[in-house]
């Protein structure tokens, strides 16, 4: 895989993206899962059969933190319920600066409840520019470009993935299987 016996790349190749061509001729780049990048690169360039490739502890998805990016426009997250409902049943909402509910809760401390028009509003959090406001699950793909030029080796590609993920390694076990 280091180029001494196999694993050489003979032309520039982007391991992290797949170009899709639609019926109408439009093109789209799709990110490839890191799991699939490793499996297919080892199979194609190091000539390992799929049954000899073992990939451990690598998930298909990851958590992406979301930051609030609106400048000069704060946001509040609040819960609300009617007086007739049990306070255990509520809906979470958001309100932007200038909204009536925002004005009602903006100067309050988190956890404060305010009653208005037979509804109760509880401030969960006031959010300003740059704060983390949540997360979303996303496919675990390579962040950035994973392009290698002619003469590069598969070990260079694997090293880039290990550097991105941290705390991973790759090797051949005593039975000759590739383990990541």
Q: Which two tokens stand for residue 62?
A: 């990851």
146 and 122 in a single domain? The answer is: no
Q: How many domains does the chain have?
A: 2
Q: 75 and 32, same structural domain?
A: no
pLDDT in tens, 89-102: 667 788 887 788 88
The answer to the question of residue 8 being in a domain is no
* 51, two tokens: 């049954």
150 shares a domain with 174: yes
pLDDT in tens, 110-164: 888 888 888 888 888 888 898 988 889 999 999 888 989 888 899 999 999 999 9
φ and ψ of 103, to 5 deg: -60, -35
Q: pTM, whole model, 2 decimals?
A: 0.67
CA gap 29, 7 in Å, rounded: 25
Do 85 and 126 sit in the same domain of this protein? yes
In the structure, what pLDDT confidence band is assigned to residue 71 with cuts at 50, 70 and 90?
confident
The pairing of strands 91-96 and 171-172 is unpaired
Per the structure, the complete domain to which residue 99 belongs is given by 67-134
Measured in degrees and rounded to the nearest 5, phi and psi for residue 159 equal: -60, -40
71 Cβ partners below 8 Å, 6+ apart? 129
Q: Which of 73, 71, 53, 79 is nearest to 158 (CA)?
A: 53
- CB of 66 closer than 8 Å to CB of 134: yes
Residue 40's pLDDT is 94
Q: In the chain, where do the E strands start and end?
A: 13-14, 17-21, 27-31, 53-54, 61-67, 75-82, 91-96, 113-116, 119-127, 132-139, 147-148, 171-172, 178-179
Q: Examine residue 5 and state whether it is found in any structural domain, yes or no.
A: no
What pLDDT does 101 receive? 84
Task: Report the C-alpha gap between 25 and 19 in whole angstroms.
Answer: 12
Closest CA to 7 of 172, 174, 120: 172
Say how far residue 129 (Cα) sits from the centre of its chain.
21
Claim to verify: residue 91 and residue 150 sit in the same structural domain = no
């Amino acid at each position: 895989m280091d180029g001494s016996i196999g694993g050489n790349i003979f032309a520039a190749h982007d391991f992290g993206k797949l170009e899709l061509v639609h019926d109408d001729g439009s093109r789209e780049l799709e990110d490839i899962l890191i799991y699939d990048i490793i499996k297919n690169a080892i199979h194609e360039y190091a000539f390992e059969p799929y049954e000899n490739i073992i990939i451990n502890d690598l998930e298909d998805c990851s958590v992406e933190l979301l930051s609030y990016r609106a400048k000069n426009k704060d946001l509040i997250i609040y819960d609300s319920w009617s007086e007739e409902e049990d306070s255990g049943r509520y809906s979470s909402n958001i309100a932007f600066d200038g909204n009536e509910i925002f004005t009602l809760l903006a100067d309050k401390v988190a956890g404060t409840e305010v009653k208005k028009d037979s509804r109760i509003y509880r401030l969960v959090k006031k959010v300003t520019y740059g704060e983390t406001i949540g997360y979303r699950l996303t496919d675990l793909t390579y962040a950035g470009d994973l392009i290698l030029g002619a003469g590069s080796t598969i070990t260079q590609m694997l090293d880039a993935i290990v550097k991105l993920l941290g705390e991973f390694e790759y090797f051949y076990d005593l039975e000759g299987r590739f383990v990541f």
